Amino acid sequence: MREWRTALAPKLVLAAGDRNEAARSVDVTWRCLENRRGRVLVHCSTSGRRKWNLAEGGRSTGRRRIPDPSGLLSSNKMKKRVVGQSERTRCNSCDRSVPSYDIVNVTSQEHGGRALCSECYNKEVAALDDLSTFEHVRFEPVMLADCTGATHEFHFRTRLFGPGVAIDAFELINNHPAGYEFEIIGDPEGDLLELLSRLIEKIRRGLSTKHLIDHDLGRQIADHQIVRGDIGWDEAEGGSVPLLTIDGQGITWREFGRMLMSFEGWQFKLEIKDKSEEL
Ligand SMILES: [Zn+2]
């Protein structure tokens, strides 16, 4: 595991509402790490008591490493920390009010903490990384049917992270990303529409199989005995065990364990992959 020293400010201003706390300044320590899957992570900790993975700097492809550490720091973990925030947030750059899921919290030495919409955030990252040909595109939601004929509305979010550009597709429940979620990563100087069409094909493949079936004894694993899903944070369990998303539905660790018990005595293979990879 590689590690970088950072030049980020040793003080961090926590916004009001962030983890339900009032605005205040705290002393923090920053660490940049490359994990086993080649993702660059930025860790922030306060006197050993708290630790957050604030930024996911994307892959270290060899072409570039993490963007200038004194530059932008983004948070992709807003979903866990937006409790109490309104469903729309005003961008501190263009002043537009956008859905909160479209906001990236950014801290830089020059501007301090700011909430930026995806478009403004991408513009700043493109300028920092000399990506003069990158053009942000706002994609409209699309409706796609799963293998049972049920339709799902997918919204899109585009994030530039230096060596790549990620497009996320997600459903909304109570105005928050939930249900089915997919991601694709491409060349930031490539064609975003072509990347979107590859993402839609990936969504279609994801919707073409159901992994769980309804049964008289409760929900069970389907006969093909393969389960694909996402590993999420279970607020009710304080994050001690995951909340899985399978077939676009939240499944508690306990419920999944109950389903596995119908295979007592069998063996299994667990394979973990990055969100952008094909399962
Ligand atoms: Zn903006």
Instruction: Answer yes or no: is pLDDT of 188 > 60.
Output: yes
**Separation of 47 CA from ligand 1 center, angstroms?**
33
Burial class (CB in 10 A: 0-12, 13-18, 19+), 24: exposed
Answer with the residue of higher pLDDT: 80 or 265.
265
The CA R_g of the chain, rounded to the nearest whole Å, is 20
What's the confidence (pLDDT) of residue 62?
35
Averaged over 249-267, what is the pLDDT? 97
CA of 188 to the centre of ligand 1 (A): 19
pTM flag (> 0.75): no
How far is ligand 1, taken at its centre, from the CA of residue 230, in Å?
Answer: 30
Instruction: Report the Cα 121 to chain-centroid distance in Å.
Output: 15
For the cut 80, the answer to whether the pLDDT of residue 82 exceeds it is no
pLDDT value, residue 154: 97
pLDDT given for residue 87 in this prediction:
85
> Which residues lie near ion ligand 1 (Cβ < 5 Å)?
91, 93-94, 117, 120
Task: Tell me how far the alpha carbon of residue 233 lies from the centroid of ligand 1, in angstroms.
Answer: 28
Model confidence over 197-209: pLDDT tens digits? 999 999 999 999 9
C-alpha 100 to ligand 1 mean position (Å): 12
CA 74 to ligand 1 center in whole angstroms: 14
Write down the pLDDT at residue 126.
Answer: 94
Mean pLDDT of 179-186: 96
Kindly indicate the confidence band of residue 29, based on its pLDDT and cuts at 50, 70 and 90.
low
What's the 98 CA to ligand 1 centre distance in angstroms? 8
C-alpha 214 – ligand 1 centre gap (Å):
44
The mean per-residue pLDDT over the stretch 31-35 comes to 49
Write down the mean pLDDT value for the chain. 78
Kindly tell me if the per-residue pLDDT of 97 is higher than 80.
yes
- pLDDT score of 54 more than 60: no
**Is 80 exceeded by the pLDDT of residue 86?**
no
> Quick one: average pLDDT of 117-143?
93
- Gap from CA of 155 to ligand 1 centroid (Å): 18
184 CA to middle of ligand 1, Å?
Answer: 23
CA 229, distance to chain mean position in Å, is 14
Q: What does each C-alpha distance from 139 to 32, 193, 240 come to in angstroms? A: 32, 9, 36
| CB neighbour burial string for 132-153, b if at least 16 within 10 angstroms, e if fewer | eebebeebeeeebebeeeeebe
**Is the pLDDT at 170 greater than 90, yes or no?**
yes
- Confidence check: pLDDT of 271 > 80: yes
Distance 117 CA to ligand 1 centre (A): 4
Q: Which amino acid is at 97?
A: S
Residue ranges of domains in the chain: 142-207, 212-263
Residue 120 Cα to ligand 1 middle (Å) = 4
Instruction: Give the range among 2-6, 141-145, 220-224 with minimum mean pLDDT.
Output: 2-6
Give the pLDDT of residue 71.
42
Q: What is the distance in A from the centroid of ligand 1 to the CA of 135? A: 14
Burial class (CB in 10 A: 0-12, 13-18, 19+), 275: middle
Q: Whole-angstrom Cα distance, residue 109 to residue 9?
A: 6
Q: Is 11 helix (H, G, I), strand (E, B) or coil?
A: strand
Which of 45-49, 59-63, 119-123 comes out lowest in average pLDDT? 59-63
Cα 263 to averaged position of ligand 1 atoms, centre (Å): 51
